[in-house]
Structure 1
């Protein structure tokens, strides 16, 4: 997850009040000397760009991402793709990504409907959902790559270690764990009395300050290290397979006989691995900037003892909004990654569209 304000308060994992935050956090040109911020015209341009980014770009990618994730979920659950390895993890990933984008879409709607923040339990539910979905999204990618590592590097142990039933149990167990782990947000989040609709309750300020680091380790540091190590091991194994494939003069029949005898990969496993490596790699690339920005903000605050200039605050917040946009993009871009990296996924999407068209045509003819 990413934080919005890391200098003054413990982070709340979701931007719950874009308009109010922009008024209070970006209006430095009215409270500081021009030399402290930047040229006033440049400041206004950045303010307008960030305002447009949060008010229009974020809702657009949320809507498009929800459509793509729902389509992907249906492909993973209702087509022949459900028989593919990791389909359970992919379906669970698209489900939690959809929930996260939905929570962000509701939060973005406060730009146009500020009364949403007054709904009972709004802050608690949105923050809780954001925490849980971010945690599950990261760990479902990790589980997906662990399963792929076993299939690629230890193919003859796959059936004993990983199967559909175990995958479903692991998905459900991780979901229960996340619901328990982040249940504190129900009582640590409250409505603000200073303009922003949500804030951390002062009674739990110290707890959230510590939990911010715990969440960063659980949601980014451990998944990051695990995914990088697993991806490197998988890539090296696949590269070795490709070299063997070339030495055998691209003879599929001889290739299958050779690898079945030597207990290594098959060509089908390599094809299915490509999409998963792309998904996990893009996950790392789009998550990394937001966590680097948070770490930089925390280090900067410690080094300067909280006495941070207004210009540094402004530049950091602009950079953080850009990083946060990339973070949101990760939850919305998976459908494009699936389409670009998997022939099997494209075939199933195409067949589904054809079946829908045929169904509509038949229903139309029967109605007539």
Structure 2
């Protein structure tokens, strides 16, 4: 989720008389949260990009590429990486704006550049959220019906589902290609003729519905049913004498993968909920209290910056989750590095042998 809570607040303020003037004359928010965010963001972005690249390499390895969940995790690694890059661009522009009158990035954008960047930014955020939903749904089917191959559980089917999801998310954000432009403040935002409609679409449709209510509800329901089914099956296995049949082996393997993907889902919920909660609370207070809400905005701004840093962890933590909870992932990662090391050694041995043979011939 992007750091546009202050932007939302300003847009709402522009619709309420002299509130924007009050913003300029009122006390500035404390900076400790901003500086902490500025320092931690590049660290998280760098670690996340490296981790996502390694995750993509492992998920595309020969042993895992045929798995349906590897398609979702590969797509998640791509969109998480794009989200981290966009977040770093935002951070650089915010820092430059804090030290000068205008940012170094969006200052040079034209209308088309603003439209494309804004559209791409929100598509990446939505795809990262809804791929978690697809993973939760895929795991629910895998646990409840492990021997049935639905479209969402096939490799080709997973690719089709991801493409359909991308098209759907793109259509849902098409209004940004029309309403966003380069403003007089040399920043990207909605034009005056669309400001009210854009604010409602951004806050209530994108922010509350697509980013918060729907994905969180789907993930919580799916994960709850998965955990219930896992505990139920484990109790049945423990109560039986014969535990070494094919069904039980398949279920144990499925449960290990499911636990890893559940950790990814709960990390998504845990890292995004603080920012979502603060943002929604701020939007509600702005609507209810008008000018008086700025006092609350000033007091909560440092904590919003911290919540943004916490939410950024969601896009960088998956690789480390795979390392800690995925046995197959650790094995395939070692095999990738071992095969590269072996090939380098074999090339070195070959070259040394050829050198020796040439010396003997001479």
Q: Structure 2 length as normaliser, TM-score? A: 0.83
1:60 match: 43
Question: Tell me, what secondary structure is at the counterpart of 1:199?
Answer: strand
Moved more, 60-69 or 49-58: 49-58
CA distance in 2, matches of 1:284, 1:244: 30
Q: Deviations over 1:17-65 (max 9, x none)?
A: xxxxxxxx9xx8x9447xxx8xxxxx7xx41x23323322112211211
CA drift at 1:299: 1.5
Distance 1:307 1:32, change over 3 A: closer
Question: Tell me, what secondary structure is at the counterpart of 1:352?
Answer: helix
Q: Deviations over 1:62-92 (max 9, x none)?
A: 1211111111111111241223341111111
| Aligned 1:76-115 pairs, distance under 5 A | 76-110=59-93, 111=95, 114-115=103-104
2:279 match: 294
CA drift at 1:112: 6.0
Alignment RMSD: 2.8
CA drift at 1:349: 0.9
Question: Tell me, what secondary structure is at the counterpart of 2:189?
Answer: strand
Q: Deviations over 1:139-184 (max 9, x none)?
A: 1111111111111012233357632221111111111222232233
| Aligned 1:239-318 pairs, distance under 5 A | 239-248=231-240, 254-257=242-245, 259=247, 266-304=251-289, 306-308=290-292, 310-318=294-302
Q: Structure 1 length as normaliser, TM-score? A: 0.82
1:140 match: 131
Moved more, 356-365 or 294-303: 356-365
1:16 match: none
CA drift at 1:248: 4.2
Ranges in structure 1 where 5+ consecutive residues have no aligned partner: 12-24, 38-42
CA drift at 1:219: 2.2
Distance 1:303 1:116, change over 3 A: closer
2:360 match: none
Ranges in structure 2 where 5+ consecutive residues have no aligned partner: 14-19, 98-102, 353-362
CA distance in 2, matches of 1:309, 1:231: 37
- Say whether the 8 Å CA contact 2:61–2:332 is kept in structure 1: no
Distance 1:258 1:359, change over 3 A: closer
2:322 match: 338
1:17 match: none
Question: Tell me, what secondary structure is at the counterpart of 1:331?
Answer: coil
Distance 1:53 1:187, change over 3 A: farther
CA distance in 1, matches of 2:25, 2:86: 33
Q: Which has more radius of gyration?
A: 2
- Say whether the 8 Å CA contact 1:256–1:266 is kept in structure 2: no
